[in-house]
Structure 1
Amino acid sequence: MPLFRMVAATAAQRPEAVALCCGPRHVTYARLVADAGRLAAWLSSLGLAPGDRLAVLLPNSVELVTVILAACRAELVLVPLAQDAPPARQAAIIAQTGARGLVMAADLGAAIPAETRERLAVTVCLGRPEPGTVGYDAFLAHGSTLPAPRSTVPDPICLLVYTSGSTGRPKAVAHTQERLARRVEAFVRTLGVTAEDTTLAVFPADRPVVLVFQVLAMLRQGGTVVLAEQPAPAAFWHLYGEVRPGYCLVMPSYARKLFADPGAAMVDHSRLRFWLSGGDTPGQALYEAARRITGRPYCNLYGLTETGLVAVVAPSETDKPGCVGRPVGDVIMRLVDDTGRDVAEGSPGRLLVTSANMMAGYFNDTMATHRAIGTGWYDTGDCVRRDAEGNYWFLGRSVDVIVRHAVQVAAALVADVLAGYPGLAEAVVVGVPDAEAGQVPVAFYRTTGPDPGAEALLRYLADRVDALSVPVACLPIAQWPVTPRGKTDRPKLTALAVAYLGRVRGEG
């Protein structure tokens, strides 16, 4: 139980420091560790044994973090469930992972089909208990804080997280406690996180990027985690002004809404040390808006569900839109061509990653695990280049590299150039099938003012990129389509581009 021991060590040094805040509630380190220990013992007494999967469907709350730490101490395997997933998806995840227990909020109970809950050994309900469930608060009356005897596994699996499915069917990625703890250590060293920091977490705390880089990083160092539920921009900035965090982590699609809100320029940013972005490419316009409004570094991090954090831009080197920084901790990055040979410095290549802290594998899928990490390297499928200073630059997913007349067009590079046009907020370039060229690029853009029109934008690009990189069309868009995880929905943009070109060509 390395993660629980890590937090318990902090509690021993800073027992009365505030570990968690959620609304008016404040929980000290001493109380958090005591509650997590008692909850772990109680879950064990209900029949959950080391290695059992425990599904969790809770909002951002003190209870969610307490459950996470309790599961680590009892060596249970957490299976986070998304609040916005349909009941059929929730049932499928519970069945596929073989979960024996569930901790859920009473008002979210309808998201789990009744027949699925009936098959569980234990269902714990936060709030008014429903029939067939046990009330969460019952653990407070449990006498022992010592869990049942633990397994002899030195580094137990503690978390199963499903991939988005963008590269195939969603798979459950298994993470171990020790590997997550080492990722925390690498992060706090690289970013200089201290006990004086507070972080404002507005995405689910059981999502790996938030769990590692906000919740566990703070609990490792003795700082404070403030939990919220992705509020509207005005409400976010009101809470931000009250908390005055040392750093925040938000996905670009949400950050764009935040920095477009007038409240962003009206709050006190004096305690902010840096802003973290992950999960998607921020784009130059977002970099510039964040830096202009906060006066602080905007740090882009790069990682995947399977690998954890791979690289991050240090706060002192953030004036590099498109850069994902340098490897973190023991991570080694390698760029190869289609034959598997290393590419020359400055040339684009497919990124391979190796680290002792990658996933343990895909749950119950030996063959998929072997294909993914059997060589010791994980193929990210992303196109990246490395400059002479050792910095890595994200160019897009390999599937997003557009091959036009046998020439590779880096969609992300073209989008970054286009986003530099005055008055453009952001741009995205996608590839569309073409009978003659194989693929052609189509650009989408959003403005902050009057629309300059496609002709002006195409002339702007023609002066700055090679001819084959110039899109065949530039299409305005009022609002980006996004996936449930907050990333730009490129397949939807591609479908819009295909439909547009079909109309132009008279094909439909």
Structure 2
Amino acid sequence: MNIGEWISKRAMIAPDKPFLTEPNKAYNNRQFNERVNKTAHALGRMGLAKGMRVALLMSNSSEFLEIFFACAKTGLIMVPLNFRLAVPELLYIIRDSAPEVLIYSSEFKEKVSEIKAAGGVQKTYCLKGQGGEGDPDFSSYVEGFATSEPPEITDVDLPDPLFIMYTSGTTGDPKGAVLTHQNILFGAIHSLLGYGVDRSYKSLVVAPLFHIGALAASVTPIIYAGGSIVISSFYNASETLQTICRGKINYMFAVPVMYQMIADAPEWNDADLSHVHFFISGGAPIPLPVIRKYQDEKGVGFVQGYALTETGRLTSLDLDDSIRKAGSVGKEVFHVNLRIVDDQGRDIHTADPGEILVQGPNVFPGYWNKEAATGAVFRDGWFCTGDMGRRDEDGFVYIVGRKVEMIISSGENIYPVEVERALQSLPGIKEAAVVGMPDPKRGEVVGAFVIPEKDSRLSEKDVLSALSGKIAHYKIPKRVFFVEEFPRNQSGKVLKRILKKRAENISEQPNGL
């Protein structure tokens, strides 16, 4: 059974059970399945066939999921695009994945116009409303199609690609992680086994659906279990908290900064969260004070873990251990094997750190169009995560660092070389080195050390302003430090650990950030 058939099966088992709610809309299982089928027929009429790509530049909506499951039923490969990316970044992904069609929300029509002007994609549809010139209304187009199951549904199997989720590479170029129907199936199974999700559960989809966390934690497990979802977006903490209370939400996935903001909302003290079974936090470690605040004031605990775009959830830290084992990501989930190895690939059985290697049916098969990059991350059937970890005496895993120098800010992955390239493209900058700086809300933020060209009069404000539009907003440094030279080793490599320490010392000052 492919992922698209889950919707069909739920419509058969419990057709009248409420499935999806969003502002001014509500669908039961039967109604949602019919909408998915209409969308599947519409995509087929466009000439799209199994293996072709459909790119989505959309905010959270029921239509996003209708297209997702329509692709799943017909063997199309969805390419969700991060709408926070700048146009040059989006163009790279579009050219790499070569989608036959791009469907977008009207608020992104300016970006799409630039993409079209650059020859990025030939066929574009605006979801609804006023789109770009010549772009048909996709929602209106879909309405004329049949609600019957698409004939292609029987030709799609678990090993087939479901979507391509792009993640930054160590070289700075984004890499498309190809995730299959099987990968998502076992992600859902791990949620049911680990969290006890069942048909009575209602999840809030508030994290952006272009992220694996939103789809794999808030959507697919609920459908597999037979529960229901509420779709929203994180516009502000007060609105999200009110949605949780009004909708009697049982759980949601979000990054730590969202939970911090919710706890700081003026409605927090009066909010009744007795219906919440747990919250899932991902993207960055959640601070212990936040965990304690939720548990002490609202009686709500956090499920944490270790997950990657390429694998979904690999470990889980249960509610009962969230304080006792604070800082740990828990133990590997049921179908995952996890090793910690030294530089020679030998297993480490002590508490010493080593690289984390994993194996399991949720691990992706490889990167889109990148055979060499795929080969580099697999070793004798094990996926090499590039993350460093250790186990304690009870078998709990702790992430201690990264082989690559990735920065994680509010759940977004940022590789320094991406920012360094953008900085070094600016007139007046000779060289740039980027490091992560600790931040209490976002986990980390970007700090940039810059060697200016001789006679350059660039200021920090000038640099930050010039970066706008070149890279995504969350990648823009929060501080820029002008220096005459970088510390280097004998081979001339910049010693970033020294720069990072300098940045950390600055951030610890009262007005450091």
Normalising by the residue count of structure 1, what TM-score does the alignment of the two structures yield? 0.77
1:346 is matched with which residue?
A: 351
Paired amino acid for 1:246: N
CA drift at 1:361:
0.6
**Match for residue 126 of structure 1?**
128
> 1:61 corresponds to which residue?
61
1:175-324 matched pairs, under 5 angstroms: 175-319=179-323, 320-324=325-329
Match of 1:115 in 2: 117
Name the residue aligned to 2:47. Answer: 47
Separation in 2 of the partners of 1:161 and 1:228?
21
In 2, the alpha carbon distance for the partners of 1:237 and 1:19 equals: 21
**Partner Cα distance (2:477, 2:293) in 1:** 22
For 2:316 and 2:475, locate their aligned partners in 1 and report how far apart those are by CA, in whole Å.
18
Count of aligned pairs between the two proteins: 430
Give the corresponding residue for 2:17: 17
Q: How does 1:86-485 map to 2 (within 5 A)?
A: 86-112=86-112, 113-115=115-117, 119-121=121-123, 123-128=125-130, 130-136=132-138, 137-143=140-146, 145-147=148-150, 149=152, 152=155, 154=157, 155-165=159-169, 168-319=172-323, 320-398=325-403
Distance 1:442 1:105 in 2: 33
Deviation (angstroms), 1:91: 2.2
Using a 3 Å threshold, how does the CA distance of structure 1 residues 65 and 308 change in structure 2: closer, same or farther?
same
SS for the counterpart of 1:126 is coil
Contact 1:442 1:497 in 2 (8 A): no
Displacement, 1:129?
Answer: 5.2
Contact 2:317 2:331 in 1 (8 A): yes
Give yes or no for contact 1:55–1:80 (8 Å, CA) kept in 2: yes
**SS in structure 2 of the partner of residue 134 of structure 1:** coil
C-alpha spacing 1:275/1:376, structure 2 compared with 1 (3 Å): same
In structure 2, how many angstroms separate the alpha carbons of the residues matched to 1:270 and 1:488? 39
The whole-number CA distance in structure 2 between the counterparts of 1:325 and 1:501 is 30
Cα distance in 1 for partners of 2:436, 2:44 equals 56
| Aligned residue in 2 for 1:462 | none
Shift, 1:302, TM fit = 0.8
What is the rounded CA distance, in whole Å, between the counterparts of 1:491 and 1:381 in structure 2? 27
Cα distance, 1:90 vs structure 2: 2.0
* Aligned equivalents of 1:121, 1:253: Cα separation in 2: 37
Counterpart-to-counterpart distance in 1, 2:32 and 2:380:
41
Q: In the alignment, does 2:35 pair up with 1:35?
A: yes
Deviation at 1:71, TM superposition (A): 0.9
In structure 2, runs of 5+ residues without a counterpart are: 409-434, 442-470, 482-495, 507-513
**Partner Cα distance (2:338, 2:477) in 1:** 27
* Percent identity of equivalent pairs: 23
* Amino acid of the structure 2 residue aligned with 1:351: I
Q: Are the structure 2 counterparts of residues 143 and 25 from structure 1 closer, same or farther at C-alpha, using a change threshold of 3 Å?
A: closer
Matches of 2:394 and 2:474, distance apart in 1:
31
Distance in structure 2 (CA, Å) of the matches to 1:324 and 1:307: 15
3-state SS in 2 of match to 1:359: coil
Instruction: Indicate how the Cα distance of structure 1 residues 163 and 298 shifts in structure 2: closer, same or farther if over 3 A, else same.
Output: same
SS in 1 for 2:330: strand
The answer for the alignment partner of 1:477 in structure 2 is: none
Preserved CA contact (<8 Å) 1:77 1:158? yes
For 1:350 and 1:309, the matched residues in 2 are separated by 17
User: 1:195-218 deviations in whole A, cap 9, x for unaligned?
Assistant: 111111211124211101111111
The alpha carbon displacement at 1:18 in A equals: 1.6
Distance in 2, matches of 1:395 and 1:308, equals: 19
For the residue of structure 1 that corresponds to 2:268, the secondary structure is helix
Change (3 A) 1:485 1:77: farther
CA contact (8 A) 1:125 1:133 kept: no
Task: Return the offset for 1:88.
Answer: 2.1
- CA-based RMSD of the aligned residues comes to 3.1
Q: State the SS of the aligned residue for 2:122.
A: coil
Matched position secondary structure for 1:265: coil
Aligned letter for 2:48? L
Task: Report the Cα distance in structure 1 between the residues aligned to 2:197 and 2:31, rounded to whole angstroms.
Answer: 23
Q: CA deviation at 1:400?
A: 6.7
Q: Helix, strand or coil: the match of 1:263?
A: coil
